[in-house]
Structure 1
């Protein structure tokens, strides 16, 4: 699959919300309770996404102009990496992470952190991230991972 990576715009908020909610309900629900999924879903409404667009560098992966994945950079932390369930495992997440890592590096960031879901831990490990510690927010387990960025060639 050859997707396009670009910065998100306000017009993408509804599509980004849809990708995130679908991934939470279909993929993350294998590792988290329905209550945790419902709670996390509340944080990703279209209006919440509009607020995040002001606070973070938000990126989207598109295929034929359809938003199929998203990721964001919040200083030295990668956040909200989600791929639509129908497009998982096809490279969109890797392409987004490469764009986020490149943006971080260009801003002088040499070490990135990512609060990973249980579901995505293996994905981040495959990209060179290592587990630092677990955090719990109620019954939601988050795995804090990090990676030293190598200088660009």
Structure 2
């Protein structure tokens, strides 16, 4: 059984390892090693702790192993009270395709930052695009092009 809870500072090292493993394994088919390693410089345990001060960050745990198997955050979109954004959505490679990502998005979509927002945006990787579209997110303003960060900008309206 997979359970969700808020991120705690003591989770930071395990979450940073999960993020690095996921990017190096799953995202490697869509992004260069240089791109991934550069991104990981801003996704250290220290960075995750700092971001958790501004966003609501959640982890999903495997009830049998008690390991963190997914992580994701939601926060205000550039300080807005009517728009929010999802950030740093990662599911451990061995748990992908088993409904864990869906449970993570559903958890984030129950958060007050989601329920108060009229619009929710997510910067989506090439790798995650199809998944987010299945979850109801569409290209922002119909723009299906990658941005300067090699991400798609997707949105959903409440």
Q: TM-score, normalised by structure 1?
A: 0.90
Query: How far did 1:126 drift?
Result: 0.3
Q: Does the residue aligned with 2:73 lie in a helix, a strand or coil? A: strand
Q: Which residue pairs with 1:78 in the alignment?
A: 86
Q: TM-score, normalised by structure 2?
A: 0.87
Q: What is the aligned-residue RMSD (CA, Å)?
A: 1.1
Structure 2: distance between partners of 1:39 and 1:105: 29
Query: How far did 1:105 drift?
Result: 3.8
| Structure 1 unpaired stretches of 5+ | none
| Structure 2 unpaired stretches of 5+ | 77-83
- Cα gap change, 1:99 to 1:136, in 2 (>3 Å): same
The 5-angstrom pairing of residues 95-110 of structure 1 reads 95-103=103-111, 104-106=113-115, 108-110=116-118
Query: How far did 1:94 drift?
Result: 0.7
Q: Which runs of 4+ in 1 moved over 4 A?
A: none
Offset from partner CA, 1:55-112 (integer Å, 9 cap, x none): 2110000003210000000210000000011111111111111111111344x11221
How many residue pairs were aligned? 144
